Amino acid sequence: MKRRADAPPGFFEVEAAGLRWLSAVPAGPRVVRVLGVGRASITLERIAPTAPTAAAAEAFGRALARLHDAGAPSFGSPPQGWDGDGYIADLPLPHVGAGVGAGGSGWGAFYARYRVEPYLRAARERGALAATGARVVEAVCARLEAGDPDLTGDPGERPARLHGDLWSGNVLWSRAAGGGAEAVLIDPAAHGGHRETDLAMLALFGLPHLAAVLAGYEAEWPLTPGWRDRAALHQLFPLLVHAVLFGGGYGAQAVAAARMYA
């Protein structure tokens, strides 16, 4: 059980909705089961840990591709069963309805407005980025708003069903029912987004057998050419989140990532 007396409204409820939404894909990865949820706590099944293997990592990559392919109503849409915003760590995570609002459409505008700019502002207020660094990030946002295909990839990319906070700590490894190991997903910030975002998060903080995960993924769903060159763009969002939470070192990393696309 995770308990937090000072949990903000919906903190555990949106986590539960996200876990259920992800687990609704039969061929997707295993997702920790929700046993109970309330305003100040969530109860989850216990996961018995085991060591990851390359075979389990490849199977996880295939399952992750199938999860993404299950789709979402729109970029920024919340998990099914939840209507409000969510959270990324302790920070509010904006959700949006169909489209991204007046004046733009598609993933680029969504990512700039709802995943980069809110945390850029918060990082500036915290003092984690200087004005010069912020302007670099803003230049990238302008390219995203314009739908620059060098940044957005396939213009026909439809919203994927994302975990949304897929760093290595949110991928547990447990013994599979038939023997061996399997990945188990926990702690999502689930929403409709770009499939490359989850993959970039896996790479940002390192995942055991990552090469096998990516090989399995591409065997199931070939990615748009150039996706590796866009990884740092997708990492800009979590780096800014970390800058807000933990300070300037992450702000400098965010600016360095942004310079690749400004």
Segment 48-71, tens digit of pLDDT:
999 999 999 999 999 999 999 999
Question: What is the pTM assigned to this prediction?
Answer: 0.95
* CA distance linking residue 212 with residue 205, whole number of Å: 16
Task: Give me the percent of the chain exceeding a pLDDT of 90.
Answer: 91
Q: What are the structure tokens assigned to 157, written together?
A: 């990319």
Map residue 160 onto helix, strand or coil: strand
Which residues are catalytically annotated? Answer: 165
Q: How confident is the model at residue 99 (pLDDT cuts 50, 70, 90)?
A: very low
Answer yes or no: are the C-beta atoms of 173 and 49 closer than 8 Å: yes
CATH number, domain containing residue 118? 3.90.1200.10
User: Residue 218 is inside which H or E element, if any?
Assistant: helix 210-220
In a domain, 32, yes or no: no
Would 181 be classed as within a structural domain?
yes
Q: Is residue 15 assigned to a domain?
A: no
Grade residue 156 by pLDDT with cuts at 50, 70 and 90. confident
Look at the chain and report how many structural domains it folds into: 1
In a domain, 131, yes or no: yes
Does residue 18 belong to any structural domain of this protein? no
Three-state DSSP class for residue 175 = strand
Both tokens assigned to 75: 């970029």
Mean of pLDDT values over 127-148:
96
- pLDDT over 90 at 118, yes or no: yes
Residue 244 lies inside a defined structural domain of this protein: yes
Residue 101 has pLDDT above 80, yes or no: no
Kindly calculate the radius of gyration of the chain based on its CA atoms and give it in whole angstroms. Answer: 18
Which of 158, 115, 160 lies closest to 21, judged by CA?
Answer: 160
Q: How confident is the model at residue 102 (pLDDT cuts 50, 70, 90)?
A: very low
Q: Give the pLDDT band of residue 248 (cuts 50, 70, 90).
A: confident
In a domain, 223, yes or no: yes
In a domain, 3, yes or no: no
pLDDT in tens, 158-208: 999 999 999 999 999 999 988 889 999 999 999 999 999 999 999 999 999
In terms of residue numbers, what domain contains 240?
Answer: 47-259
Residue 179: per-residue pLDDT: 84
Distances (CA, A) of 3 to 44, 91, 164, 199: 11, 17, 22, 30
- pLDDT, position 104: 45
Name the band, by pLDDT with cuts 50, 70 and 90, for residue 105: low
pLDDT tens for 203-229 read 999 999 999 999 999 999 999 999 999
CA distance 73 to 193: 10
